[in-house]
Amino acid sequence: MDDARDHEARRTSPERSGLSRRQVLAAGLGGALLTGAAPAQEDKRTLLTRPIPRTGEQLPVIGLGTWQTFNVGTDAKERAPLKDVLKRFLEGGGRVIDSSPMYDRAELVVGQLLEELHQSRTPFLASKVWTMGRTEGEQQMRTSVQRMGRGRMDLMQIHNLVDARTHLATLREWQEAGRIRYLGITHYQPSAFDTMEKLIRQETLDFVQLPYSFGSREAEARLLPACAERGVAVLVMSPFEQGGLFQRVRGKALPPWAAEFDCTSWAQFFLKFILGHPAVTCPIPATSNPKHLEDNLKAGFGRLPDEKMRARMVKHLGL
C-alpha cells in the first residue's frame, strides 16, 4: 500500500416535512441494524443503501468524488482508467458521482465518459454552484448540467457556502420547476460548521456535504445530530484525509477483529467507521485507480461497526 493510495491524495479545498430523527436512525443502514450481528445474506451480495430523508429514495452508501482525479485532458490513455473506474463503480452498485465547476474539466470528463459507457444503471449526479450573483450562478449551473449531466442533474449544492442566500433562492426555483431534484450546501472546513448548522435549522435543505473521517470527527458534536434531527442527507468528503490516514497506518496490520464487521483493508476500515454513524448517507472517496475503487465499494457490503466497535477502532489507533 502506498502512502496515499491515490484517494484524494491531492485534495485541498473544494465544496416539506422530513422523517423523524428516530426514523432516520432506524433506517440508517437500509435495513441492517448497527448491532454487530450478521446481516441478512443479501446484504453481503448487495451494496447497502440508505434513504434520502426528504423522500425516502435509497442511495448506495459508497459514492465517487472527482476532485483532480477526473481533471484530465482528451488523451485516451489518460482517460482509460477513469472510464474503468466509472464502469466498475456503476456495475458494483454505486450511483452517487460528485463534482464541481471548481474541478476544472472534471464535470466534462465525467459526462463524456458516462456517455461512452452507455450504462443502463442511472447514476445519481451531483455538482455545485461556485460563484457570486444570481445571473452568474444560473449560467454556471446550466453549464454544469450540460457538461456533466447532458441535460439532467440530481443534486445541486452551494460550494463552500459562496453567496449561499442568493443561490438558495435560485435552487428552490429550479427544484420547483423540475430542473434539479435536490438541493444542498457544502463546506470543507470545520470552522464553517456553525454557519452550516444555522442554515440546516433555518432552511429546508435536502443534502449537506461536509468533511468527516476517522481522525477528524468535529462533525459528530453538533452538525451530524442537526442533520439527523432536520432530516438532511449527508455526503462525506475527504474520508481518507487526502490520503493522510493511510500514512498513519503504513506498515501496520489490520486488527483481526476487523473481520467482525466484514472488513479486509484499511480503506474499508476507515469507510465503515464513517458509515457506522447513522446520520451519514454516503462518503464520496475519489480515485483514478480501478482496484482502489473496488476496495472502496467493499466497505458498503456486509456488517458495519456499532458505537461500541467504533470506540474500539478509535482506541486501537490512538486517534
Q: What is the pLDDT of residues 10-53, one digit of tens each?
A: 433 333 333 343 343 333 333 333 333 333 334 567 999 999 99
CB distance 64 to 235 below 8 Å: no
Place of cell 503504513: 250
Domain extent for 199? 21-317
User: Which H or E run includes 217?
Assistant: none
Q: Which segments of the chain have a pLDDT < 70?
A: 1-44
Residue 7: inside a domain, yes or no?
no
What CATH code is carried by the domain that includes residue 80? 3.20.20.100
Nearest to 148 by CA among 106, 190, 193, 199: 106
* Separation of alpha carbons 274 and 259, rounded Å: 17
Domain presence at residue 290: yes
C-alpha 214/C-alpha 209 separation (Å) is 16
Q: Confirm whether 8 is domain-assigned.
A: no
Strand order in 207-211's β-sheet?
64-65, 96-98, 124-129, 155-158, 182-186, 207-211, 233-237, 282-283
Residue count (the chain): 319
Instruction: Answer whether residue 104 is part of any domain.
Output: yes
Q: Which DSSP helix (H) or strand (E) runs through 155?
A: strand 155-158
Per-residue burial over 173-208, b if 16 or more Cβ lie within 10 Å, else e, is ebeeeebbbbbbbbbbebebbeebbebbeeeebbbb
pLDDT for residue 45: 77
Q: Is residue 298 part of a domain?
A: yes
Classify residue 10: in a domain, yes or no.
Answer: no
pLDDT at 6: 53
Q: Give percent helix, percent strand, percent coil of the chain, each to the nearest 5.
A: 45, 15, 45
Q: Helix or strand or coil: residue 239? A: coil
Q: 243 — alpha (psi -120 to 50), left (phi > 0) or beta?
A: left
Per-residue confidence (pLDDT) for residue 16, from 0 to 100: 34
Secondary element (H or E) of residue 225: helix 223-230
Cell of 266: 484499511
* Number of compact structural domains in the chain: 1
d(CA 258, CA 263): 5
CB 226 within 8 Å of CB 201: yes
Q: Is residue 6 part of a domain?
A: no
Is the residue at 61 inside a domain?
yes
